[in-house]
Structure 1
Amino acid sequence: MKFLLQEMKYTDIFIDLDDTLIDTAGNTRITVGEIYKDYNFGNYFPSFDDFYAIYYANVSRLWTLYSQGKIAKKTLQRERFIGALTTVEEISDEQALAINDDFIARIMEKGILIEGAKELLDYLYPKYKIHILSNGFTEMQYKKMDSAGLSSYFDKVILSDKVGINKPHPDIFTYALNETGKNKEEVIMIGDNVVNDIQGAYNCEIDQIWFNPEDISPGDIKPTYTVKKLDEIKSIL
């Protein structure tokens, strides 16, 4: 996909972290695989793929509820494995919580990036101030950035967990503008989630670049730009 080069109208970039820069989906699958093996989940499920399908559906539901402000952070963390292991009587809720703690400790050490992420940051860093705008949890996001070697690229790290408001709520975008001292015309949002990142920014009249590697339909949402690969962003910015 080619884009017409334009005069640099933006000074700052808001960018999502999980599955935009860090391959959270890939890191999660690897880490859940370790948990499955080390805790002998094969005794309770036909295969890892069967368990992962249950885990993924449960966590996706929890994150949707969390993003909508319908459950608290503690509920998401508590139910991550309790919900996935609900059919396993041999594993108590207390054991499931301990497994969750182990999972968090392990995944924070994983540093796999989305293809082209570091190259994109190297390209953007001399031209713009780059700010993380993420719905992730404070105690995890900083460690994940360190593990992935990304921490030095960002001027501000704005986390919904710390602000108390989740994307796509407009107040977190307003908070980010105030925190960076920028007007909406001066920034652009880059992210993979068409609702949280793209619709959220659009509702605040902030331009957006939707990273859409799976080429899914945006529905009624109309992003300013759409790319399948991160290196295409170099043709926009």
Structure 2
Amino acid sequence: MQYDWILFDADETLFSFDAYAGLKAMFAALDVDFTPEDFAEYQLVNKPLWVQYQDGEISAKQLQEDRFNVWSDRLNISPAELNRRFLDAMADVCQPLEGVRDIVPELAKHAKLGIITNGFVQLQQIRLERTGMTDYFDLVVISEEVGVAKPDVAIFEHTFALAGNPDKSRVLMVGDNAASDILGGNNAGVDTCWLNVDGKALPEGVTPTYTATSWADIKTFLLN
């Protein structure tokens, strides 16, 4: 194994993130039939907020609450409460991607593993516990706690400090989002593996060390 540390993104890298299923479950508990049209409307608000968050323009709290402002007015429930209910529903919905349950334990025999996520505290730990994966990860770094999000180099430097400042040539960042995970790894001076399951185009100026189309590819790169 050429790496001492392998750092993973969480959503759509380790775990599926079916926001529509989570929202549908959350609203069903409130006796609301959440439709695909409702989801499209939600995404018109949610997606730009995530870009602002990754660019450091808004806080995690603003993102989490502003995306529910419309529904807060409709249901007379606070945005913070709707967000809490949503993340709780997502903890039930999110499952490891195909190959993760088998390959992560194998990788953990050869390197230390960590998570760097732009996700939120409420979801991360409970999801690791419910999927039985807590013990495989030596550290979990969450942007909401650190105060900066990928691709900001500061969240990587914070992670390196927690890891004991390893040799960067022996650190790999694995993620599905080229604009945050791979650009962030580029900024931090470490190798990167882009998990590109859907054949997305690579943004200009972003250069992964490896590109994988599945977890089987990741296993081949790292263990064969």
Whether the TM-score (by the shorter chain) exceeds 0.5 is: yes
1:96, CA displacement in angstroms?
Answer: 4.8
**Could you tell me how far 1:11 is from its partner in structure 2?**
1.0
**Residue 213 of structure 1: CA displacement?**
0.6
TM-score computed with the length of structure 2 as normaliser? 0.90
Report the CA distance between 1:16 and its aligned residue. 0.8
RMSD of the TM alignment (CA)?
1.9
Aligned with 2:148 (options 155, 161, 165):
165
**1:10 offset after TM fit, Å?**
1.1
Q: How many residues align?
A: 220
Using the TM superposition, give the Cα deviation of residue 91 of structure 1 relative to its aligned residue in structure 2, in angstroms.
Answer: 2.7
2:121 maps to which of 138, 146, 159: 138
Match of 1:234 in 2: 219
8 Å contact from structure 1 (residues 110, 144) kept in 2: no
Provide the rounded CA distance (Å) in 2 between the counterparts of 1:129 and 1:150: 14
Of the two, which has the highest radius of gyration? 1
Contact residue 134 and residue 159 of structure 1 kept, 8 A: yes
- AA matched with 2:152: H
Residue 40 of structure 1: CA displacement? 4.2
- Which among 198, 208, 216 is matched to residue 192 of structure 2? 208
Out of 170, 175, 180, the position equivalent to 1:191 is 175
C-alpha deviations, 1:63-95, integer Å up to 9, x for none?
A: 221121111122112112214x38xx6433x35
Matched with 1:9 is: 2
Q: Which residue of 1 aligns with 2:30?
A: 39
Q: Percent identity?
A: 29
Q: Tell me how far apart the structure 1 counterparts of residues 80 and 219 of structure 2 sit (CA, whole Å).
A: 43
Deviations 1:181-229 (A, max 9, x none): 2021110000011011001101222100000111111032221111110
User: How big is each residue's C-alpha offset from its partner over 1:103-144, in whole Å with a ceiling of 9 and x where there is no partner?
Assistant: 222222334121111122022011110011111222321112
Corresponding residue of 1:57: 44
Among candidates 79, 87, 93, match of residue 110 of structure 1: 93
Measure the CA separation in 1 of the matches of 2:30 and 2:188: 45
- Could you list the runs of 5+ residues in structure 2 that have no partner in the other structure? none
Segments of 5+ residues of structure 1 without an aligned counterpart are: 1-7
Hey, what does 2:63 align to over in structure 1? 76
Equivalence map 1:138-157=2 (5 Å)? 138-157=121-140
Are 1:177 and 1:183, in contact at CA under 8 Å, matched by a contact in 2?
Answer: no
**Distance across 2 between alignment mates of 1:150 and 1:229:** 19
The 8 Å contact of residues 25 and 89 in structure 2, kept in 1 or not, is answered as no
Q: What's the offset of the Cα at 1:97?
A: 4.2
